């Protein structure tokens, strides 16, 4: 593995998914476009500053971006160091592009600090990837984990893709915990004002627990390892999902809002859903498919 690495197609799909998420997060609400009032590259002339939580999030957010960029560019025809250089360059071009586009939106701000912190996160992620690449592509790394613990063929790939989309949906701050949107928007049904606290509590608890159980059933269907390993993966996924949820609230709102998702309904749904999920992962595959 010294000079080159085998390709990892899954990383390309994940990178595209992450790029779509970052594009939406950077350009929302996607309206009010106008020419930049101070010029296209005026942000590059701004002084650097430390923005607290936002600065930290910019670095943390681009670490997986740089990591996946290197994995996506790795191939037998390209050395891992070439993938490292191209990955960092691609992340920086993307970051600058997003910041420039933000200058066209009156409700968004862009700065040189954002570019620098994004680049710092990309470099950290890319360095981690280039160092771990030989191991990741070995039987003891990602390739081996995929072969040992996920069912072969399209079912395993589709399940992993669905899990990826589920994780992205957790970042949306206007949905209930583990929810995936508001079906009323699809049918043009207006939200009724002033629902009672009890009704909201019940709905949030049911949605949160039911969605978590559905995730557990999906994990059961694509998992090929032992049951104890599956339960460990489920608990790890739940913890990771709560970290993603917290980051989503902090990214879309402010650092003080990072834990606003912690409500009585969400906590109740989390506890009940976790207990049920730990039980349903013991179901036979056919029963899990029917349940899902």
- Burial annotation 269-287 (CB, 10 A radius, 16+ → b, else e): bbebbbeebeebbebeeee
pLDDT computed for residue 180 by the predictor? 78
Burial of 50 (0-12, 13-18, 19+ CB in 10 A): exposed
pLDDT in tens, 50-97: 877 778 888 988 998 999 999 889 887 888 899 999 999 999 999 999
- Two structure tokens written together for 94: 């993307």
Question: With bands split at pLDDT 50, 70 and 90, how would you rate the model's confidence at 216?
Answer: very high
What is the pTM for the complete model shown? Answer: 0.69
Question: Average pLDDT in the 32-45 region?
Answer: 84
Tell me which of 13 and 218 has the higher pLDDT: 218
Which of 145, 137, 278 minimizes the C-alpha distance to 223?
Answer: 145
Average pLDDT of the chain, as a whole number: 84
């Amino acid at each position: 593995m010294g000079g080159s690495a085998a390709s990892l197609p899954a990383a390309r799909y994940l990178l595209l998914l992450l790029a779509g998420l970052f594009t939406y997060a950077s350009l929302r609400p996607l309206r009010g476009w106008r020419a930049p009032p101070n010029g296209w590259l005026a942000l590059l002339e701004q002084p650097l500053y430390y923005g607290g939580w936002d600065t930290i999030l910019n670095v943390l957010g681009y670490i997986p971006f740089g990591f996946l960029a290197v994995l996506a560019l790795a191939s037998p025809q390209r050395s891992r160091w070439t993938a490292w250089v191209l990955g960092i360059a691609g992340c920086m071009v993307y970051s600058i592009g997003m910041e420039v586009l933000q200058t066209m939106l009156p409700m968004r701000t862009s700065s040189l600090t954002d570019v620098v912190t994004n680049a710092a996160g990309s470099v950290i992620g890319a360095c981690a990837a280039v160092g771990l690449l030989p191991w990741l592509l070995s039987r003891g790394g990602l390739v081996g984990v995929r072969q040992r613990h996920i069912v072969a063929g399209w079912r395993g790939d589709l399940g992993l893709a669905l899990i990826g989309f589920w994780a992205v949906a957790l970042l949306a701050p206007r949905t209930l915990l583990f929810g995936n949107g508001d079906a009323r928007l699809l049918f043009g049904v207006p939200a009724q004002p002033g629902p009672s606290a009890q009704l909201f509590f019940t709905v949030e608890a049911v949605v949160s627990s039911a969605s978590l159980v559905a995730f557990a059933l999906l994990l059961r269907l694509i998992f090929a390892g032992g049951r104890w390993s599956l339960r460990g993966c489920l608990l790890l996924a739940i913890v990771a999902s709560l970290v993603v949820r917290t980051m989503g609230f902090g990214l879309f709102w402010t650092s003080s809002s990072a834990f606003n998702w912690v409500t009585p309904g969400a906590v109740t749904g989390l506890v009940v859903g976790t207990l049920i999920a730990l039980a349903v992962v013991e179901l036979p595959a056919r029963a899990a498919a029917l349940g899902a």
